[in-house]
Chains A and B, each alone.
Chain A
């Protein structure tokens, strides 16, 4: 018998080769130092892999997960805030259902935001004025129009947000709506993923914030993001900037537990970081 292939030895080790063929391999190994050495090295691969230190979850990831979980809990406890999401769920396509057992399709965290933006657009001045109304009033959305909008919004969820901005701004101007009661600015700041630095940067941004309503018009995406993250809390600042070099939106609000800031990725798709001041 010639020397054994590494694949064959690995399969033999894994118990995949038995019977007469397995017996022949065992017999060969007993008398072949070269193949025995390879076999030992194969055993060593598993030992080595088991010994590699586990990676440490970065603080930024832990914070992101905490923020995402908090958003889920809030969504579950406050169905009104996410009415359109429920409407969409009720009419969801079979593609999104679980095919069997608990196998997962690709979950989309951002779907509720996209749908919210679409509903705001459909609801026109009414929904916008609710979002832009004084703090404490959460936009309840034009619930009546939600199901039909949700059905058409789902396939193009990501695309729905971009064109939403300018028509909304035009609508807001033409209807003479009050500006939102929080300052919004666009800056070239690059917020740091390092928690300590981020907290300082956010505090500085808050100190430098202009008076409410004196800033720029607020894009619909930012309004939707504010609504999603801050909910009914009093919003102190929204700022379009960067985070770790990537476009991001900073939202600061006064919550029951003090001032809190969220950094959301493009389209409010993900909460990249949170910090408390």
Chain B
């Protein structure tokens, strides 16, 4: 909410207040960004239950470790970094987990069934989500952060804790790998009405 003088506190100010003991500040900060943080978690781990776990882990870590934030990057970059780390950590743990129990599957279905308004679940999104699963996790995380969330290569390097050159090469390899699976979607203007086509792309 706005301050007494009508100004909305900055992210950094909210984080400072949280560290100083303001019980409301972190909640306000997190709610500001949680839709985007949910998007990055869901697209990185590719399943709603794991994404919810990752996001909750990340939120709790950010809450507890806010005092470690040194202001070397934007607060939102710091939050994304924590969420990406928690998401990749979930994937690593899942990789050594043998099989899903029936209970897990039912919980997934319950969550998927709740995933917002079905009308907004476009075919394009489903196809893109399916194609993203084909990528190695590290490439997928880079592509999600840069192409889907629109972070600069420099910010993505901070979020992913890799060099800018590595961000570029992971994204390049990921785009080349995705191409055969999504080329047929590129004429689908209904999915990209809100975005100006890049130069040189045939509609």
Which residues of A are interface residues toward B (Cβ below 8 A)? Answer: 6-7, 9-11, 13-16, 38-62, 64-66, 68-69, 72-73, 76-77, 98, 101-109, 192-194, 244-247, 270
Contacts and interface: CB of A to CB of B under 8 A. Distances in A.
Given A9-B176, A52-B124, A106 B39 contact: no
Given A9-B176, A51-B194, A64-B52, 15 more contacts: A10-B176, A11-B172, A42-B175, A43-B198, A47-B197, A52-B125, A58-B114, A98-B68, A102-B69, A102-B70, A106-B89, A108-B57, A192-B110, A193-B111, A244-B106
A33 B112 CA distance: 43
In order of increasing CB-CB distance, the 9 nearest A-B pairs are A56-B116, A245-B106, A51-B192, A244-B110, A10-B172, A49-B147, A10-B176, A14-B172, A58-B114
B168 A69 contact: no
Given A6-B176, A55-B42, A109-B57, A246 B103 contact: yes
B55 interface: yes
Interface residues of B, number: 82
A115 B201 CA distance: 58
A11 B177 CA distance: 12
Q: Is the interface of A mostly helix, strand, loop or mixed?
A: helix
Contacts of B128: 48-49, 52
A19 to B, nearest CB: 15
Contact of B148 (A16, A41, A49): A49
Interface of B: 23, 26-27, 30, 34-36, 38-39, 42-43, 48, 51-53, 55-61, 63-65, 68-70, 72, 78, 81-82, 85-86, 89, 93, 102-104, 106-107, 110-111, 114-117, 120, 122, 124-125, 128, 143, 147-148, 150, 161, 165, 168-169, 171-173, 175-176, 178-179, 182-183, 185-186, 191-195, 197-202
Given A98-B68, A109-B60, A58 B111 contact: yes
A46 B198 contact: yes
Contacts of B193: 51
A54 to B, nearest CB: 5
Nearest to B178: A45
Given A55-B42, A56-B117, A58-B114, A102 B175 contact: no
Contact of B200 (A43, A48, A62, A66): A43
Nearest to B26: A69
- Identify which of A10, A102, A244 gathers the most chain B CB atoms within 10 Å of its CB: A102
A55 B39 contact: yes
Contacts of A77: 23
A73 B192 contact: no
Contacts of A246: 103-104, 106-107
B65 A103 contact: no
A36 B197 CA distance: 17
Given A43-B198, A57-B34, A68-B56, A50 B148 contact: yes
A109 B62 CA distance: 12
B74 to A, nearest CB: 13
Given A57-B35, A193-B114, A65 B57 contact: no
B64 A49 contact: no
Contacts of A193: 110-111, 114
Given A49-B143, A103-B161, A68 B183 contact: no
A47 B39 CA distance: 17
Contacts of A39: 200
B196 to A, nearest CB: 8
B147 A45 contact: yes
Given A46-B147, A50-B150, A193-B110, A7 B191 contact: no
